[in-house]
């Protein structure tokens, strides 16, 4: 009887692909079967005209998930009576909102009122990884959109660039991530840039963990102002292991990047990922799927927003 139940359960699991939390790989199979394809096409088109948006989309998913769970709260606009997450100083130059909007418009034409903004953010991040040369992976869907987006929620939930390895391990650990998840996820910095203001404190403090010639590079970037962008690695639009190689050369841009190599707790992981791209890809995709399940709303919680910028 018990065995039969287990067999039955496994069959159901396979048929539906359900995850324990109510999300599933084929969540939209009856209601919007080409949802993934629609998002993928919109993202592909956008990245063909500006590949730097891949970084923006991946980062947006991170910021969405770490504040109030992956519920699209990062997309909400402020109103007269509410300052939203988006307008926090730690929104850290988030980009790619237009791409999410374009995908939402295309989805609403095809299957109105069905696909959540939170799922669009998660799918767009997945596609951005793939189109910049990273792994191709499938993600569970069924996240519902949240109805809260408040500036103060960003202050304690997002780890800052001045954290050392133990601080990062603690910040991610609190949300259920291992040190290995954290290092793999930090590998997202294989894409994109940081602005001078995010690393200037290291120069002011003459941080000894910066290679001397790289310190000159960073100073030169800052000589053009606080908003000047410094790529994290030599290939800012390509998903590769150059970020980890940079850390080995002490050419990490943020303190929170370089500390991963300086700390004995995480150095082995940096060395492994620098050396083994397949391992990085595998751990990264696993950690992204895990991040995409953080405090998701499903069932009767949340809503399907009709405009990603406003609560229904």
Cα separation of 221 and 229, whole Å?
7
Is residue 160 a contact point for ligand HEM (CB under 6 A)?
A: yes
Closest among 207, 221, 213, 112 to 162, alpha carbons compared: 207
User: Taking a C-beta distance cutoff of 8 angstroms, is the pair 207, 220 a contact?
Assistant: no
Q: Which residues are annotated as a binding site?
A: 64, 67, 69, 71, 73, 85, 159, 189-190, 233, 240
Catalytic-residue membership of 309: no
180 burial via Cβ count (<10 Å: 0-12, 13-18, 19+): middle
91 to 120, contacts with ligand HEM by CB under 6 A?
92-93, 95
Least distance in Å: CB of 261 to ligand HEM? Answer: 13
Closest among 46, 187, 288 to 38, alpha carbons compared: 46
Q: Which residues pair with 144 in a beta bridge?
A: 297
Any alpha helices (H) in the chain, and if so which ranges? Answer: 2-16, 35-49, 53-66, 97-110, 117-131, 153-157, 165-173, 179-186, 196-204, 212-222, 242-248, 255-262, 267-275, 277-291
- Please provide the distance, in angstroms rounded to a whole number, between the alpha carbons at the two ends of the chain: 47
Which range touches ligand HEM (CB under 6 A), out of 5-13, 179-187, 240-248, 262-270?
Answer: 179-187
Is residue 195 a contact point for ligand HEM (CB under 6 A)?
A: yes
Least distance in Å: CB of 2 to ligand HEM? Answer: 41
Is residue 135 a contact point for ligand HEM (CB under 6 A)?
A: no
Closest among 199, 263, 184 to 232, alpha carbons compared: 199
Identified catalytic residue from 40, 59, 63, 202: 63
Cα separation of 189 and 52, whole Å?
12
**What binding mask, one character per residue, do residues 47-76 give for ligand HEM by CB under 6 A, x or -?**
--------xx-xx--x--------------
Is residue 94 a contact point for ligand NAG (CB under 6 A)?
A: yes
147 to 206, contacts with ligand NAG by CB under 6 A?
164, 166-167
CB nearer ligand HEM, residue 145 or residue 181: 181
Q: How far is CA 143 from CA 1, 170, 288, 296, in A?
A: 34, 26, 15, 6
Is residue 236 a contact point for ligand NAG (CB under 6 A)?
A: no
What dihedral angle (degrees, nearest 10) is formed by the CA atoms of 250, 160, 76, 303?
A: 100
Which range touches ligand NAG (CB under 6 A), out of 82-90, 220-228, 273-281, 298-306?
Answer: 82-90
46 binds, among ligand HEM, ligand NAG, none (CB under 5 to 8 A by kind): none
User: Taking a C-beta distance cutoff of 8 angstroms, is the pair 42, 103 a contact?
Assistant: yes
CB nearer ligand HEM, residue 42 or residue 185: 185
Least distance in Å: CB of 266 to ligand NAG? Answer: 11
Q: Which residues pair with 82 in a beta bridge?
A: 79
Is residue 159 a contact point for ligand HEM (CB under 6 A)?
A: yes
Is residue 133 a contact point for ligand HEM (CB under 6 A)?
A: no
Footprint of ligand NAG (CB under 6 A):
86-87, 89, 91, 94, 164, 166-167
Footprint of ligand HEM (CB under 6 A):
55-56, 58-59, 62, 92-93, 95, 159-161, 163, 168, 182, 185-186, 188-189, 191-195, 198, 254, 256
Catalytic residues, which ones?
63
């Amino acid at each position: 009887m018990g065995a039969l139940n287990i067999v039955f359960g496994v069959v159901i699991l396979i048929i539906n692909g359900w995850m324990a939390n109510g999300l599933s790989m084929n969540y939209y199979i009856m209601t919007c079967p080409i949802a993934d394809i629609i998002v993928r096409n919109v993202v592909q088109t956008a990245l063909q005209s500006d590949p730097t948006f891949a970084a923006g989309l991946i980062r947006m998913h991170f910021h969405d998930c770490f504040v109030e769970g992956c519920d699209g709260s990062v997309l909400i606009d402020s109103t007269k009576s509410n300052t939203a997450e988006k307008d926090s100083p730690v929104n850290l130059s988030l980009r790619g909102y237009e791409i999410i909007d374009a995908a939402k418009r295309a989805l609403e034409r095809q299957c109105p009122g069905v696909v959540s903004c939170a799922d669009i953010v998660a799918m767009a991040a997945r596609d951005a990884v793939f189109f910049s040369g990273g792994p191709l992976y499938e993600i569970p869907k069924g996240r519902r959109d949240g109805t809260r987006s408040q500036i103060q929620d960003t202050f304690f939930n997002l780890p800052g660039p001045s954290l050392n390895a133990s601080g990062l391990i603690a910040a991610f650990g609190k949300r259920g991530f291992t040190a290995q998840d954290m290092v793999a996820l930090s590998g997202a910095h294989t894409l994109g840039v940081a602005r001078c203001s995010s690393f200037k404190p290291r120069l002011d403090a003459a941080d000894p963990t910066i290679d001397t010639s790289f310190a000159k590079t960073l100073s030169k970037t800052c000589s053009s102002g606080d908003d000047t962008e410094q790529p994290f690695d030599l290939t800012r639009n390509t998903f590769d292991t150059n970020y980890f190689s940079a850390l080995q050369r002490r050419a990490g841009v943020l303190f929170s990047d370089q500390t991963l190599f300086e700390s004995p707790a995480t150095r082995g992981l940096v060395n492994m990922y620098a050396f083994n791209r397949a391992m990085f890809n595998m751990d990264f995709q696993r950690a992204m799927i895990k991040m995409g399940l953080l405090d998701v709303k499903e069932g009767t919680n949340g809503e399907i927003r009709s405009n990603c910028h406003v609560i229904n």
